[in-house]
């Protein structure tokens, strides 16, 4: 079958079209004819070598998100049948090859029926970012009693989904953006109060927005050194959630406020096999929210075909994208 493979680490030029073996059907899995995928920052990091440890065996087929039609169903799978239109997570990290191919092998626990009323191209934009936002905010009791929620990077892929989820839970949503031209987008997807990062210090916007008390919950989709700002913005005994905890820093500010820190890394079930069923259930809930018109996606004006993946990476790295980038198969 045809696929887009990565033969080494480097720039966008490392991608090439090639013939690769058709997936071997396994128990508990399905083989899906891929219609569309989408681009996530993780794929940029894998290609460049920053996240080389997450790369599938070379020649590597990347991309986790997909939407398509089931071609074959393995033994033990009862929820799906050949011909079902599904979306979900299909590899692209660890030992599993990804979705930039004619067909992808997917664990039946990591897929759900495609939401009715939307295209495969749109459906493929949702899985990774929606699961991440759900695990950050909707799992457990994180949002319980959280009247004021601050989301760093609120117009990003995960951020704008998280804003909608926080609003569904009844929270007052505040969000940081990097420039004034992103304010209207933030408000369109549910942010009540938009903060321009750098225009105010964390202490200043904490005082303005919370009377100095701090936010009940801070979801930091930026992470890294920005966690220091999240600790400042949080209230005493508040909660900070991040998707990027890869940083060495002094945790004294966190200790002094008795903060709870939660780290989200949605690829763990795909890599380890633990927690896949729960993520499939999340996708089912996501599909329902989409069908009910309660969850929307910010899609970029441009889309790319699989064989244009190098151009898609360049477009992303040049910061031209204003929304999630869709990838369409024309194999």
Question: What is the structure's pLDDT at 223?
Answer: 87
Nearest in space to 3 (alpha carbons), one of 58, 55, 48: 58
Low-confidence ranges of the chain (pLDDT < 50): none
pLDDT for res 103: 98
Residue 59: asked if its preceding bond is cis (omega within 30°), the reply is yes
For residue 172, the model assigns a pLDDT of 95
Beta carbons within 8 Å of 319's beta carbon, 6+ residues apart:
none
At residue 45, the pLDDT reads: 95
Structural tokens at position 37: 């995928």
What's residue 142's pLDDT? 73
CB–CB of 20/5 below 8 Å? Answer: yes
Give 22's DSSP letter: P
pLDDT of residue 321: 94
Inter-axis angle of helices 309-317 and 41-48, to 10 degrees?
Answer: 100
Domains of the chain: 2-126+271-328 (3.90.180.10), 130-263 (3.40.50.720)
DSSP 136-204: HHTSTTTTTT--EEEEETTTSHHHHHHHHHHHHTT-EEEEEESSGGGHHHHHHTT-SEEEEBTTB-HHH
Between CA 143 and CA 276, with CA 112 as vertex, the angle to 5 degrees is 65
């Amino acid at each position: 079958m045809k696929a887009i493979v990565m033969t080494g680490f480097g720039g966008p030029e490392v991608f090439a079209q090639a013939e690769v073996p058709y997936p071997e059907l396994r128990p508990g899995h399905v083989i899906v004819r891929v219609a569309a995928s989408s681009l996530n920052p993780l794929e940029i990091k894998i290609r460049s070598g920053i996240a080389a440890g997450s790369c599938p065996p070379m020649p590597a087929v990347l991309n986790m998100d997909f939407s398509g039609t089931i071609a074959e169903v393995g033994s033990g799978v009862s929820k799906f049948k050949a011909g079902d239109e599904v979306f979900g997570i299909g590899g692209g990290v660890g030992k599993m090859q990804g979705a930039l191919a004619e067909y992808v092998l997917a664990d039946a626990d990591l897929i759900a029926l495609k939401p009715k009323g939307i295209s495969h191209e749109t459906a493929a934009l949702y899985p990774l970012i929606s699961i991440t936002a759900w695990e950050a905010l909707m799992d457990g009791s994180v949002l319980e009693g959280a009247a004021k929620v601050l989301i760093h990077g609120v117009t990003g892929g995960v951020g704008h989904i998280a804003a909608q989820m926080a609003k569904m839970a009844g929270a007052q949503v505040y969000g940081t953006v990097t420039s004034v031209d992103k304010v209207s987008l933030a408000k369109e997807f549910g942010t009540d109060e938009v903060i321009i990062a750098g225009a105010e210090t964390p202490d200043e916007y904490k005082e303005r927005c919370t009377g100095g008390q701090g936010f009940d919950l801070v979801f930091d989709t930026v992470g890294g050194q920005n966690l220091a700002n999240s600790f400042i913005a949080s209230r005493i005994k508040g909660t900070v959630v991040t998707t990027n905890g890869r940083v060495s820093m002094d945790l004294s500010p966190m200790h002094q406020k008795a903060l709870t820190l939660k780290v989200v890394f949605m690829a763990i079930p795909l890599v380890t096999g633990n927690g896949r069923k729960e993520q499939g259930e999340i996708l089912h809930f996501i599909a329902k929210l989409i069908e009910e018109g309660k969850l929307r996606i910010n899609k970029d004006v441009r889309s790319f075909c699989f064989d244009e993946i190098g151009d898609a990476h360049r477009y992303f790295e040049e910061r031209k994208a204003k929304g999630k980038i869709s990838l369409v198969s024309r194999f």
